[in-house]
Amino acid sequence: MAQSRPEPVLATLTLNPALDIQTGVDVVEPENKLRCDAPRQDAGGGGVNVARVIRRLGGRASCVLPLGGPAGQSLQGRLAAEGLDAVVIPIQGETRQSFTVLDRSRGAEFRFVLPGPRLGAAEFRAVERALEALQPRPDVLVVSGSLPGGLDPKRLTRLASRVRRGGVRLALDASGEGLQAGLEAGVWLVKPNLRELGACLGRELPDRDSQLAAARGLVAAGRAEWVALSLGREGALLVSADFAGYAPALPITPVSTVGAGDSFMAGLAWELSRGTRPEAALSTAVAAASATLMSPGSGMARSADIRRLRPRVRIEILTGP
């Protein structure tokens, strides 16, 4: 009788988490007082959202994150309410908040993201120690979200290198300096969008050929084993040394765009870490992102929606093993 494959151990790192607050108004307009709906609060930030969706996919991922002040305490309570394991590094600064307002008259979301705290050198070393002390040791660490203000990106490069030397596969979802820093060390999986990858490479990527060439270039240079390129309304590409696949976006009318990219990363990292075939992993990723688009505010994907949408995802194999 064949033994079942053990489930992978995953963890996420969110260096700049946020307490997400959502509400709605009839219309957003200047000067007048805007009477808002009762607010909803959720734990947010890239890695936090990834962990939330992995749990809904049936897995678990510990959240490593620095938190401070009343907003940080509230965020930690939200993590506990969702049954997520959290490794909290106390910091002096106040955890940031983000504020999303739905204008019902236009069906448009307005997203206000406040600046986060600076992370001191001693606090960043505490984050590094927390990662080194994780038990059981993760098979995959997902680093997702923005960098705290004032943090030297080279610290992220050194962290990525140390994680990689320790045998942990690193999945990265970052932009700007964070993306450059992670790719400099080399990662297992990277998930830029089209604008982020173009800015990173210093050139436009106007068509499928140029997009595939860019992703294959990262793989060939040893900067990533897997490249998942988000194309927004056009879908997504997934590329490795011996695979390339394209998934068109599902025809979803978005209720909210908050966390869709994080949900995509959650589905992809979870499935690839389990050894799932890449075309099936890409299907789960697109279904998770689409399910989040259907959820209000930062509620994230519902398990039932992911299961329902997954068979509707069409995968075009561009190259295979």
Report pLDDT digits (tens) over 94-117. 999 999 999 999 888 899 988 889
Q: How far apart are CA 148 and CA 141, in angstroms?
A: 19
Q: How far apart are CA 287 and CA 305, in angstroms?
A: 8
Q: Which residue has the higher pLDDT, 159 or 299?
A: 159
Taking 90 as the threshold, does the pLDDT of residue 32 lie above it?
no
Confidence category of residue 1, pLDDT binned at 50, 70, 90 = very low
Which secondary-structure segment (H or E) carries 246?
Answer: strand 244-247
Taking 60 as the threshold, does the pLDDT of residue 10 lie above it?
yes
Alpha helices in the chain (DSSP H): 46-56, 69-81, 121-132, 153-165, 176-185, 194-201, 208-220, 260-273, 278-293, 303-309
pLDDT at position 319 is 72
pLDDT at position 227 is 97
pLDDT at position 321 is 45
pLDDT at position 25 is 93
Question: Residues in the chain, how many?
Answer: 321
The residues, ordered by sequence, that sit 6+ positions from 4 with a Cβ below 8 Å of its Cβ are none
Percent of the chain with pLDDT over 70: 98
Taking 50 as the threshold, does the pLDDT of residue 73 lie above it?
yes
Confidence category of residue 315, pLDDT binned at 50, 70, 90 = very high
Q: Which range is least confidently modeled, 106-115, 204-213, 307-316?
A: 106-115
Domains defined for the chain, CATH in brackets? 10-319 (3.40.1190.20)
Tell me which residues are annotated as active site. Answer: 262
Q: How far apart are CA 294 and CA 263, in angstroms?
A: 12
Q: Which range is least confidently modeled, 34-38, 201-205, 252-256?
A: 252-256
Mean pLDDT of the chain: 92
Confidence category of residue 4, pLDDT binned at 50, 70, 90 = low
Q: Which residue has the higher pLDDT, 149 or 227?
A: 227
For 111-120, write each residue's pLDDT tens digit. 998 888 999 9
Q: How far apart are CA 56 and CA 266, in angstroms?
A: 10
pLDDT at position 108 is 87
Mean pLDDT computed over 166-180: 93
Taking 70 as the threshold, does the pLDDT of residue 2 lie above it?
no
User: Is pTM beyond 0.85 here?
Assistant: yes
Confidence category of residue 276, pLDDT binned at 50, 70, 90 = very high
Taking 60 as the threshold, does the pLDDT of residue 3 lie above it?
no
pLDDT at position 254 is 86
